[in-house]
Amino acid sequence: MGNHVSEKNKLFRKENEDRARLLIKCPDQPGIVAAVSSFLRDNGANIIESSQYSANPEGGNFFIRMEFECPGLRGKRTLLETAFSDIAQQFNMEYDFLYVTDIKKTAIFVSKEPHCLMELLWEWQNGELIMDIECIISNYEDSREAVESLGIPFYYIPANKDIRKQVEAQQLEILKKHNIELIILARYMQILTPEFVSHYPNQIINIHHSFLPAFIGARPYERAYERGVKLIGATSHYVTNDLDEGPIIEQGVERVNHRDKVVDLKRIGRQIERSVLARAVKWHLQDRVIVDGNKTIVF
Amino acid sequence: MGNHVSEKNKLFRKENEDRARLLIKCPDQPGIVAAVSSFLRDNGANIIESSQYSANPEGGNFFIRMEFECPGLRGKRTLLETAFSDIAQQFNMEYDFLYVTDIKKTAIFVSKEPHCLMELLWEWQNGELIMDIECIISNYEDSREAVESLGIPFYYIPANKDIRKQVEAQQLEILKKHNIELIILARYMQILTPEFVSHYPNQIINIHHSFLPAFIGARPYERAYERGVKLIGATSHYVTNDLDEGPIIEQGVERVNHRDKVVDLKRIGRQIERSVLARAVKWHLQDRVIVDGNKTIVF
Amino acid sequence: MGNHVSEKNKLFRKENEDRARLLIKCPDQPGIVAAVSSFLRDNGANIIESSQYSANPEGGNFFIRMEFECPGLRGKRTLLETAFSDIAQQFNMEYDFLYVTDIKKTAIFVSKEPHCLMELLWEWQNGELIMDIECIISNYEDSREAVESLGIPFYYIPANKDIRKQVEAQQLEILKKHNIELIILARYMQILTPEFVSHYPNQIINIHHSFLPAFIGARPYERAYERGVKLIGATSHYVTNDLDEGPIIEQGVERVNHRDKVVDLKRIGRQIERSVLARAVKWHLQDRVIVDGNKTIVF
Amino acid sequence: MGNHVSEKNKLFRKENEDRARLLIKCPDQPGIVAAVSSFLRDNGANIIESSQYSANPEGGNFFIRMEFECPGLRGKRTLLETAFSDIAQQFNMEYDFLYVTDIKKTAIFVSKEPHCLMELLWEWQNGELIMDIECIISNYEDSREAVESLGIPFYYIPANKDIRKQVEAQQLEILKKHNIELIILARYMQILTPEFVSHYPNQIINIHHSFLPAFIGARPYERAYERGVKLIGATSHYVTNDLDEGPIIEQGVERVNHRDKVVDLKRIGRQIERSVLARAVKWHLQDRVIVDGNKTIVF
């Protein structure tokens, strides 16, 4: 199965070897689109998809994501990036060239509940989530068999709040070894320290099992039940130092009623969690998500 | 138009003169349904619709709503109610016979934003909301014309937190005069005192412009914007002494994105508010909502 | 894993050994609920859940589903059923006692696309779908490994329209051998003959990859793309002799837009298909679905 | 109220006097975005919003909608349009400059059911639908009072299929007199002839009360009821010569169940119809809808 995915990703790389994305953030002013699109044209690139957003036409930031096709891209990367620095300076841009063939090296963290991990593995095998899953890290052994059967390394690191420091040290070592670029917390029920988070800014995606900002923190389904809500939800967000306060990428809800006990809310919630997390990860992998302060722009 | 609705309600009364609902709450035990349904059969009533709910089959409360048709009902009301008291005592029931022709006398409170009021008036004219709208009370004059053109009394009572006591005294007087049984807060932006609320337990329905318990209190759209949520919502609930903490009847959400400013959230939210409030009111008018502690059962 | 499910189902049987459902269809008349609920009470059964529906209060059919708990049920089955025949005769009832511990023996048919099969296996392992999966039948070998790893027999029977008769003969033999009570067509892309269907009336559940009655028949996603619809859907229904015309159990939709090619519609559609089919199967397994002519009542 | 809207539209015109939209369709090739955005920059325009779509990057059509702000726009219209013709010729473009202050002159057709008309009038008064409603045409007198109270001319033209020709002649005369640019069929239950439609290509928006292509033609709710569907819908589309076959702009659905009779489907459907039509009209008014063959691109 793992081989099967490698084959798919190989094919994907081949089909997309000339494909890249340019993400830009800069103060809004006339002429940005003209400058960038002329640059791409002059360098032989064809714009395939383009989305832009002005936070505030009178004096805010401007954001743009352009996906383009450029024959012979591999050999022209340095050239392109160097040539673009002039425009970037002129418009005071923060920017990033992202090459579609640079498939993101990903680690998935999971605790006991496997449904989010399973959804990610499933969509990865289907070719819906284009990523290289380098490893799974868990504080439980439960998922080992399913993970290893796909040829993915599984690391069991028991964790609790008393040994947080040494646990994170172990985890960081593994992440470094695998050159991880994206960490997905697929119902990993341990809090990460600011120190850990600081190594991966806007690179850790969490799924919280409530419709944030309702029911921040522990036991959201129990609290939703107590409150008697008529809809429950899930939220996928980037992890920052503030618990469940990071930039939201995606949310979903489902209807519940008075007959639904906590166990039913959890069951219904699992379906929301897995689809919300899968969408958020997909958008991140396609470089569609730009963090702007404590919010996201999803192009 | 007002006459038009009177005609409709008159017809409705005629068509439903033999129709009633029996709502029961009691400790769960075997034999309740048998006792109640046998009672109805023996009194010549046919059960049209029945919904029941056991909070916890092992030792919780049991709730049932039966809608029945009983020829000659008007003349048999006292008889029925008296005869039922035996069963009620045996099973330790709280219960209510509600006659469909006793259309609920309703007052609507509104402030500046008219969309929820307009939706209620519209669905009332359509025959979707069967109620007698006795009066509209507002702290603004804006809706007077639309209301009076339908032949409904409009009371303008300026309000602010410094004169709350005398305002509520005036309002209570009007409500008593009209024998009001249901108060709908259709975006009425003043807080009601516990004293006021105590006169109408589980008879005041509010629409809060957020997905509770997220964004309790003031300026929910502004706060939703600040937080960068991807869905916004509205919540209809019974008013209790705790602000926005009463039993939830219905909730709804819509998708938003990074392009939506506060003004857009408000616009999208208006659609959610009006449909959520209209559904909650409809269920209340049909005696489908039972308050159980701080939750609702919606049959 | 298979063992794991057997354990779960064993536990489920133990917890539900006193639980049954009584499904009734009869001409509407006063006294039915009283008669049935008195019968249950007199036989020591406590009604846990009850739903009823009058197709037309003035002279149509009446349907009721009662779930009840009856201590010592196993020993009382024959007694109950015999005793009930009097009431059944009096009210001219069609009825069924369904014992929750009689877990339905199920066969799943699948062709090349595995997503619906995978969802069913997954929810079965989770304990969401309480059924005994006796076998998988496929006209492709693709799913063999995943199926056999769960300890489920996998039968590969190549099929095409020229050999339909012998294929179905083989399938029927397998189904008989396994005493199959429910057949799920989880994207099985062969048409079944009326002869085959006649063996399993209202016992074959199909998932059609469109929002029926739109796009009946082949290639629905291609046709949805051609038509430029803004929502796509899936439909789960019982199989009858008329292609895609059987009683609908459940439907779902998702939003699409002009950017979505056929391949995107298929991808989005897969998510709808798997959740719609899983819901329909769940309701069937819980005896919540009553077929009434060409429609279903879902209690 | 009519005056009230005139005031709003006057203010809107003032705020948007420098705002326009450029819509382009042309064969896809590199350099289009660069050429158009450079042109706008060189003419002092700032791009506020931009959406593009390649039907097929290898050899299909390319579509783009740019909304821009250009100081002193009123005096520069001819200049801009003339200057652009060079680029248009070079890239073989079909294009349109649309000035936001050219508020579209609109006629609404309605028969007996008023809910869609009411929603449009309501959202127009709210400032959500920026259009000049020049007249309402109806084959019933029912809506006259509501329409005239807003200061909008109401034309009563009885219609049936036998007098279709003279009816349409009358209607066309009125439409010409008012220089109508958009016709909204807000549940107008008469079929329009190809001759009539030919005067307003892609300028007539209809609401059909089903989820097309299901239930094309008459009595869709009755047929949905007969079929036993679990979701009902509505579709807004441009009118072409083929009944209910024109390019779809927007669709919506709601859940129904076995308890819902035809009258309930109609009631639930009314809510879908009014919101779906209002969204479609809004997008048309904002020049977001491009017709591409028998489909729409909605930017």
From start to end of chain D, where are the E strands? 19-27, 46-54, 61-69, 94-99, 105-110, 132-138, 154-156, 182-185, 204-208, 231-238, 248-255, 289-292, 295-298
Any chain B CB within 8 A of the CB of C90?
no
| Of D211, D294, D298, Cβ closest to residue C214 | D211
C121, containing H or E segment? helix C115-125
pLDDT tens, residue by residue, C69-110? 999 999 999 999 999 999 999 999 999 999 999 999 999 999
Q: Please state the ipTM of this predicted complex.
A: 0.92
| Of A211, A292, A295, Cβ closest to residue B211 | A211
Return the residue of A nearest to B247 by Cα: A228
Contact partners for chain B, using 3 or more CB pairs closer than 8 A, are A, C, D
> What share of chain D in percent tops pLDDT 90?
90
Number of Cβ within 10 Å of residue C95's Cβ equals 17
Smallest Cα distance from B215 to chain A, Å: 8
Q: Across the interface, do D230 and C215 touch by the CB < 8 Å criterion?
A: no
CA distance A73 to A20: 8
| pLDDT of B57 higher than 80 | no
Any chain D CB within 8 A of the CB of A43?
no
The three state secondary structure string of chain A is CHHHHHHHHHHHHHHCCCEEEEEEEEECCCCHHHHHHHHHHHCCCEEEEEEEEECCCCCCEEEEEEEEECCCHHHHHHHHHHHHHHHHHHHCCEEEEEECCCCCEEEEEECCCCHHHHHHHHHHHCCCCCCEEEEEEECCCCCHHHHHCCCCCEEECCCCHHHHHHHHHHHHHHHHHCCCCEEEECCCCCCCCHHHHHCCCCCEEEEECCCCCCCCCCCHHHHHHHHCCCEEEEEEEECCCCCCCCCEEEEEEEECCCCCCHHHHHHHHHHHHHHHHHHHHHHHHCCCEEEECCEEEEC
Residues of A whose CB is below 8 A from D50: 33, 50, 52
Would you give the DSSP letter of residue C184? E
Q: Across the interface, do C122 and A126 touch by the CB < 8 Å criterion?
A: no
Smallest Cα distance from A285 to chain D, Å: 21
Any chain C CB within 8 A of the CB of D292?
yes
User: Catalytic one among B18, B142, B162, B244?
Assistant: B244
Any chain C CB within 8 A of the CB of A4?
no
Low-confidence winner among B38-42, C125-129, D236-240, D282-286 (lowest mean pLDDT): C125-129
Any chain B CB within 8 A of the CB of C46?
yes
Any chain A CB within 8 A of the CB of D37?
yes
Smallest Cα distance from D281 to chain C, Å: 15
| pLDDT of B221 higher than 70 | yes
| Of B41, B52, B54, Cβ closest to residue C34 | B41
| Of C29, C41, C48, Cβ closest to residue B34 | C41
User: Catalytic one among A132, A244, A260, A287?
Assistant: A244
Q: In what order do the strands lie in the sheet with B46-54?
A: B94-99, B19-27, B61-69, B46-54, C46-54, C61-69, C19-27, C94-99
User: Catalytic one among C18, C244, C260, C287?
Assistant: C244
Return the residue of A nearest to C146 by Cα: A1
What pLDDT is recorded for position A1?
Answer: 46
Residues B278-283: what's their mean pLDDT? 98
| pLDDT of B277 higher than 80 | yes
Smallest Cα distance from D59 to chain A, Å: 12
Q: Across the interface, do C51 and B51 touch by the CB < 8 Å criterion?
A: yes
What pLDDT is recorded for position A244?
Answer: 84
Any chain B CB within 8 A of the CB of A231?
yes
For an interface test with A, the pick among D38, D39, D66 (most A C-beta atoms closer than 10 Å) comes out as: D38
Strands D132-138 and D105-110 turn out to be parallel
In 3D space, the residue among A230, A228, A208 whose CA is nearest the CA of residue A220 turns out to be A208
Any chain A CB within 8 A of the CB of B220?
no
Cis link prior to B57 (omega < 30° from 0)?
no
Any chain A CB within 8 A of the CB of C156?
no
CA distance C263 to C260: 8
In 3D space, the residue among D263, D257, D131, D256 whose CA is nearest the CA of residue D186 turns out to be D131
Q: Across the interface, do A258 and B211 touch by the CB < 8 Å criterion?
A: no
What pLDDT is recorded for position A4?
Answer: 75
Any chain C CB within 8 A of the CB of D276?
no
In 3D space, the residue among C83, C99, C171 whose CA is nearest the CA of residue C134 turns out to be C171
CA distance A168 to A174: 10
What pLDDT is recorded for position C116?
Answer: 97
Is A42 catalytic? The answer is: no
- Which residue stretches of chain A have pLDDT < 70? 1-3, 57
| Of A212, A229, A258, Cβ closest to residue B251 | A229
Low-confidence winner among A210-224, B24-38, D55-69, D111-125 (lowest mean pLDDT): D55-69
CA distance D130 to C59: 52
Q: What are the structural domains of chain A?
A: 17-99 (3.30.70.260), 105-298 (3.40.50.170)
Q: Is the pTM of this model over 0.80?
A: yes
Q: Across the interface, do A128 and C275 touch by the CB < 8 Å criterion?
A: no
pLDDT tens, residue by residue, B160-180? 989 999 999 999 999 999 999
pLDDT category, C55, cuts 50, 70, 90? Answer: confident
What pLDDT is recorded for position C2?
Answer: 57
Return the residue of A nearest to B253 by Cα: A253
Any chain D CB within 8 A of the CB of B118?
yes
Q: Between helices D73-91 and D32-42, what is the axis angle to 10°?
A: 160
Residues of D whose CB is below 8 A from B279: none
Q: Across the interface, do B126 and D118 touch by the CB < 8 Å criterion?
A: no
D27-44: buried (b, 16+ CB within 10 Å) or exposed (e) per residue? ebebbbbbbbbbbbbeeb
- To which residue do tokens 């199926």 refer? C147
Strands A61-69 and B132-138 turn out to be unpaired
Residues D37-51: what's their mean pLDDT? 94
What pLDDT is recorded for position D1?
Answer: 47
Any chain D CB within 8 A of the CB of C246?
no
Amino acid letter, residue A287: D
Tokens of A251: 């949310």
Q: How many residues does chain A have?
A: 299
Smallest Cα distance from B255 to chain A, Å: 9
Q: What is the CA radius of gyration of chain A?
A: 21
| pLDDT of B266 higher than 70 | yes
| Of A115, A118, A275, Cβ closest to residue C271 | A275
| Of C33, C38, C48, Cβ closest to residue B50 | C33
pLDDT tens, residue by residue, D68-86? 999 999 999 999 999 999 9
What pLDDT is recorded for position D2?
Answer: 57
Q: Are B207 and B117 a contacting pair, CB within 8 Å?
A: no
For an interface test with D, the pick among A29, A36, A37, A63 (most D C-beta atoms closer than 10 Å) comes out as: A37
Residue C126 phi, psi (nearest 5): -75, -10
Smallest Cα distance from A143 to chain C, Å: 12
Smallest Cα distance from B237 to chain D, Å: 22
Low-confidence winner among B170-184, C206-220, D3-17, D22-36 (lowest mean pLDDT): D3-17
Q: Which residues pair with B208 in a beta bridge?
A: B235
Tokens of B153: 């009394």
Q: Are D199 and C196 a contacting pair, CB within 8 Å?
A: no
